Chains A and B, each alone.
Chain A
Amino acid sequence: MTKKMIFTSTVFASILATSMAGFASSPPVLFDPPMSPRNANYTIEVSLDPATHVLKGHERIRWRNITDTAASDAWFHLYLNAFANNKSDFFEESGGRLRGDTADRMHWGYCRVTVISLVKPDGTLAPLVQLFPGSDKTVMRAGLPFQVPPAGELLLDLSFEDQLPKVFARAGYAGNFNMAGQWFPKLGVFQGAKGWNCHAYHANSEFFSDFGVYDVAVTVPENYVVGSTGVQWGPEEKAAGRKTVHLHAEDVHDFAWTASPDFLEENSSWEGVRIRILMQPGNRASVQRYIASTKEALELFAKWIWKYPYQQITVVDPPANGMGAAGMEYPTLITAGASPFLPRSVLVPEMIVVHEFGHQYWYGMEANNEFEEAWLDEGINSYYETRIMDAWFGPQNSMFNGLFGLHMGDVAMQRVQYITFPDMDPVVLPAWKYSTNATYAVMSYSKPVMVLKTLENILGTEKMDAVMRAFFMKAKFTHPTTDDFVRIISEAAGRDLSPILGPLLHGTGTVDFKVAGVHNKPHEPPLGLDLSKNPPAPFAKEKPGKKGTEKTNYDSDVTVQRKGEIVLPVEVLVTFADGTTKLETWSGEGRYTTFKYAKRVARVVVDPDGKVPLDLDRLNNGWQASDDGAPASVMALRFSRLFETIYALAAGLF
C-alpha cells in the first residue's frame, strides 16, 4: 500500500488546471447547476484522415468515484474492436449481419490505445499497462498503482488511433460520410462493491456509461460539415486546408460526431431548442418530414414528461450506402433514415425520428444499463413512439397512413412482431442471452409496448402519464433498473403494480382471452312442486314474453376463457338479439367465467376496445350468432383487383 497513492478531490482540483492547459480554453457553461453527477469527463482532440478514415486522438479523462467503495483499476470500452475481425463477440453473435445491414468483410475497423498514462499530481505521466480481460479486445483494463477512494478523482491521459470500418451497425464510413459513434476509449461504470460494469460489445447490446462534460476538438478537411453531440462553440480554426471545430456537451454520457462534405444543413427551432438537420443532397425532399417529426416529439415529450433541456438536437441523414448508421441515438444527436422514393403514406421516417428523439429521455437522461436491461430504454421509448405517432396521425394510421387505401397503426405493427415470438424469453435479460436476435428485438421493443399499453389501459392515460413522469423525474441522470421502475411507478400509482408487471417482465407467460361458449336455450318454465309453499304446490304459470320481443324467453350464458398464465382484467361486451348491450368486467381470476342472461345473445366481444394488446389471438375474442361474410367478401374483391392487375400485365394489356 505504501507505493499506492491516494488521490482526493482536493488534490485533483489543484492539478486540473495545469493538466488541461494544452487544450482549447473557455468552453461555454451550459447548465449551472449541473443536471447530472458529471463523474466521467472527457477532453478529446481528434483528427480525421478523409482518405483512410483513420482517427488519431488524444483524450484526458477526469473520473470521480461516486460510490462508497475504492476503485483499484479502470475499465474501458473499445467498441470499434468489435469490427476488427470475424472472431469478435459481436461478429460471432451477429454473423456479420445486423439491423438489416451486412458487414463489409474487406474494410475492418479498430480502436487501438497507443499509450495510457496516469497523470500524476505534478502533471507528469506514469504509463499504465493495458490488459484485455475479455474474449475480444472490446474491453480494456488498466490497473492503478493506488486506490481511488470514494469521492476521489482520477486523471488519465490516453492516445488512441481508430480505423473506422465501412458503416455497419451504427458507426463507420460510407464514401466521404463519416459517423464516429462509440469511437473513443470510454470508461465503463464503476458500481462500487460490484466493481466495473464494462461488458464486451455484443451484437444485440448497446451501451452504458456515466454522465459528464465533453470538450471535443475535431479536425477535418475544411470543406467538411461537422455535426455532433452538444454544441459548437468558438470560431473554427483553419489551417492548410483543414479546420478544427470545438464542441462542448454537458450532462451527457456519450459523444458522437459525423463529418461529410456533402451535408446540406437546414435549421429550425422549437421553443428555444435549435433543430439542426444534416441532409444528404439527394434526399433533401425528406427534410420537412424530419423537422416536423422532431417538433412533434419535442412538443409531446414536453407535455407528457419534461421539456427537452438541451440547447440543440442534431438530426443526421445517412447516405443510401450508409444506412447501417441510420436510426441510432446518441445524446443530442440522432440519425434518421428516409428515401426520396418512400411514399408519404409510409410513416417510417417520422417513426424513426420520433423514436430516436425519444431516446434523449429514455437512454439519454434516464441512463439505464442497455447491456443488461435493454427494455428500460428501448421498450419505454417504443411505447412513447407509439403514443406520439398515434397522437399525431391517429391510432389506426400511425404506420401506414392510407397506403393504397390501407392503414395500420404503430401499436398494431408492434403487436404483430410480439405475437410472432411471445414466450421464448423474458423481457428482462442481458442482451446477449436472448435465444435469437429476433427475440431480443421482440422482448426489448415490442412486448414492452404491449405491457405498457395494457398498463395505460388499466390505470387510465392520465394516471399513466403521471406515473411515467414521476419515474422520469426520479430516475433522470441516474442509472435506474427494472426494480426501480416498478417501485417508483407503484408509488406514483398508489398501488403495488408488481403483481402485474413482475410476471410480464420477468416471466414468459402469455394471455389469450377466448369466447369459450355461448348458449341460447329457450327458457324452460319450472315444473313440479314449489317447495317454498306450504303445503308444496305447483308453480304458478309464467307469463309469456311480449309478442315480438324476446324478453324472458331465453336462458343464455356466455363463457369466457383465459388461456395463458398472465392474469389481467378484461371487459366483455354482450349484444342481445333485441339490440341492447351489456358491458361486463372480468378480473381474469380463474380460468374462465360465465355470464348468464335471460335474453338471447347475438354477439359477444371480449376486450372490445383493445385494452389488452397482449392478447395473443384477437379473432377468438368474438362470437356472433350468424356468420358475417362481408369482411371476407370485401377482402376477396380487393385481392381480386390486385390479381387482375398483375394478370393484365401478363396478358399484355399494358
Chain B
Amino acid sequence: MTLAQAVKVGVIQGRGKLLSAAVLYGAPLVSSLLAVAPLRSGLHAAFDRYPAAAELMNGGGIDLLAETGLRQPAFWAAGFALFLPALLLSLLLGLWGQGGVYAVAASHDSADSPWKKIWPAATKILPRLLVVVLLNAIVWGVAAVLAAIPFAVLHARFKENTDPGPSWHLFIAELAAIVILWNLASASCGFAKAATALRLGEGNPAKAFLAGLKFSIKRFLQAETLTWTFFMLRAGLLALCFAALPLAVTLGGNAMKWLTFQAALFAMAFLRVAEMRSQVAYLEAAQPKPAPVESETQPVDAEVLSSASL
C-alpha cells in the first residue's frame, strides 16, 4: 500500500469517523469548560457591578485586569485554580479517546457499531498507550538532549561573534532539526499507538513502541510526510480561524466566535482521526501476511480489538 492509498483509507473508508472526531474533540472541550468555571465566577464577581469593565468588551482593559490582580492577589490564583488539573484531565481524556479511535480504526469486525466498540476499547487500551507515550517521551527526550549538544557547542563558539551570518544559519539549522525531530517523535508515537491497537508485539507496549519507532525510521520520508502534512493542515485551519475572525465586541458576537472556533476544532479533530486511521492502514499493510489458516478455527480474541491482528 502506498502512502496515498493509506491516506485515502484514513480519510474516506471505514465507519465511525465522525464519532471518533467527536471523542477527540470532546477532551479539550470538557477540560476547558471545567477550567474556565472558577475564572468565570471570579470575573463576574470582580466586574459585574462596575461600569468601567465595559471596556473589556472591545479588547481593551488589559490594565483593568492587571489592576484587579494587584488589588486582589488571589484573583488570578483562584481563577486559574483548575487550569493544571484540567490540563492533566485533557491529557488523559485525549489519550483515552485516541485509544478508542485507534482501536476502531484497527478493527475489521463490522458486526459491532463503532459506538459500541469505541468506549470499551478506549478503556482497555489506555494502560498500554500510557506506557507507549511514556517510553516515547523518554526516548525522544534523550534524543533531544543529545541533539542539543552540538548546537550548544556551536552556540558557545558563536557567542562572541555578532556577525549574523553564522548565527542565522545556526538558527535555521536548529529550527530544521527541531521540526524533523519533533515530526519523527510524533510519527513514531502515532505508529506505536497504531501498533498497540493492531496488537503488534502481542500486547506488549514496549514491543509496540519499538515497532512504531522502527517503522517510522525505516519509512522516514513517508512518516515525515504524513505527519507534517496533517499537522500543517490542522495548524493552518486553526490559524485561519484566528486570523479570519475579527474582534467581537458584543456578547453575541463573542458567542458566535466561540461556536466558529468549536467548528474549527472539530474539523481539526476530524483531520487528526484521518491521520490516525491512515497510520493504522499504512502500518497494517506493511506487515507480513499471516500463514494460511488450516482446519481449526482461530481462537477468538477476548478483547474488542481487531481479530485480524497480524
* Residues of A that sit less than 8 Å from B by CB: 174-177, 260, 262, 280-282, 319-322, 396, 400, 402, 404-408, 412-413, 415-416, 419-420, 603-605, 617-624, 627-641, 643-648, 650-654
Contact = CB atoms under 8 A, between A and B. Distances in A.
A653 B94 contact: yes
B32 to A, nearest CB: 4
**How many interface residues does chain B have, given as a range?**
35 or more
B257 A637 contact: yes
Contacts of A640: 32-33, 36, 258
A623 B167 CA distance: 56
23 contacts: A262-B164, A415-B63, A416-B66, A419-B67, A603-B51, A619-B53, A628-B51, A628-B54, A632-B44, A632-B46, A632-B56, A644-B28, A644-B265, A645-B28, A646-B87, A647-B35, A647-B90, A648-B28, A650-B28, A650-B87, A651-B28, A653-B265, A654-B231
B68 A619 contact: yes
B127 interface: no
Interface stretch (B107-115, B143-151, B212-220, B247-255): B247-255
B238 interface: yes
A102 B70 CA distance: 27
B303 interface: no
A622 B51 contact: yes
A262 B57 contact: no
A644 B261 contact: yes
Interface string B29-71: 1011101100110011011111111111101111111111011
B52 A622 contact: yes
Given A282-B167, A620-B50, A653 B43 contact: no
Contacts of A415: 63
A577 to B, nearest CB: 15
B93 interface: yes
Nearest to B133: A652
Nearest to B68: A619
B188 interface: no
CB-based closest 3 A-B pairs = A651-B94, A175-B162, A647-B28
B163 interface: yes
Residue among A321, A415, A618, A644 with the highest chain B CB neighbour number at 10 A: A644
A653 B47 CA distance: 34
Contact of B56 (A321, A620, A631): A631
Given A262-B164, A647-B31, A407 B52 contact: no
A342 to B, nearest CB: 16
Interface string B74-92: 0000000001001100110
B31 A651 contact: yes
A321 B71 contact: no
Nearest to A603: B51
A636 B39 contact: yes
Given A282-B168, A647-B27, A653-B24, A629 B94 contact: no
A54 to B, nearest CB: 16
Contacts of B95: 651-652
A336 B238 CA distance: 35
Given A631-B53, A647-B28, A652-B94, A617 B67 contact: yes
A280 B52 contact: no
Nearest to A399: B62
A638 B36 CA distance: 10
A259 to B, nearest CB: 12
Residue among B32, B51, B248 with the highest chain A CB neighbour number at 10 A: B51
Contact of A653 (B28, B46, B59, B71): B28
A619 B90 contact: no
Contact of A416 (B55, B67, B265): B67
Contacts of B32: 640, 643-644, 647
Nearest to B97: A651
Given A420-B70, A647-B31, A650-B91, A618 B56 contact: no
Contacts, number: 207
A551 to B, nearest CB: 24
B289 interface: no
B265 A648 contact: yes
A627 B48 contact: yes
B53 A632 contact: yes
A520 B295 CA distance: 93
A601 to B, nearest CB: 12
Contact of A605 (B52, B168, B247, B257): B52
B50 A624 contact: yes
Contact of A412 (B46, B51, B62): B62
B272 interface: yes
Given A624-B50, A632-B47, A652-B272, A175 B160 contact: yes
Contacts of B231: 654
Residue among B35, B40, B52 with the highest chain A CB neighbour number at 10 A: B52
B163 A176 contact: yes
Nearest to A420: B70
B232 to A, nearest CB: 11
Given A644-B29, A653-B268, A653-B269, A629 B97 contact: no
B80 to A, nearest CB: 9
Contacts of A400: 62
A461 to B, nearest CB: 22
Nearest to B21: A653
Given A174-B162, A321-B162, 4 more contacts: A628-B54, A644-B29, A653-B25, A654-B231
A408 B62 contact: yes
B64 A618 contact: yes
Nearest to A619: B50
Contacts of B35: 643, 647
Interface string B153-166: 00000011111110
Contacts of A631: 43, 47-48, 53-57, 61
B139 interface: no
Interface in B159-190: 159-165, 167-168
Contacts of A605: 51-52
A640 B238 CA distance: 15
B98 interface: yes
B56 A635 contact: yes
Contacts of B52: 605, 618-619, 621-622
A320 B59 CA distance: 32
B70 A419 contact: yes
Given A637-B258, A641-B258, A629 B234 contact: no
B235 interface: yes
Nearest to B86: A647
A413 B63 contact: yes
A650 B94 contact: yes
Contacts of A652: 24, 94-95, 98, 272
A226 to B, nearest CB: 16
Contacts of A644: 28-29, 31-32, 261, 265
A627 B44 CA distance: 9
B162 A260 contact: yes
Contacts of B46: 619, 632
B67 A319 contact: no
A378 B39 CA distance: 38
Residue among B165, B235, B251 with the highest chain A CB neighbour number at 10 A: B251
A139 B247 CA distance: 56
A44 B25 CA distance: 71
Contact of A624 (B49, B62, B248): B49
A624 B51 contact: yes
A281 B164 contact: yes
A19 to B, nearest CB: 39
Contacts of A618: 52, 64, 67
Nearest to A281: B164
Contact of B60 (A174, A280, A407, A623): A407
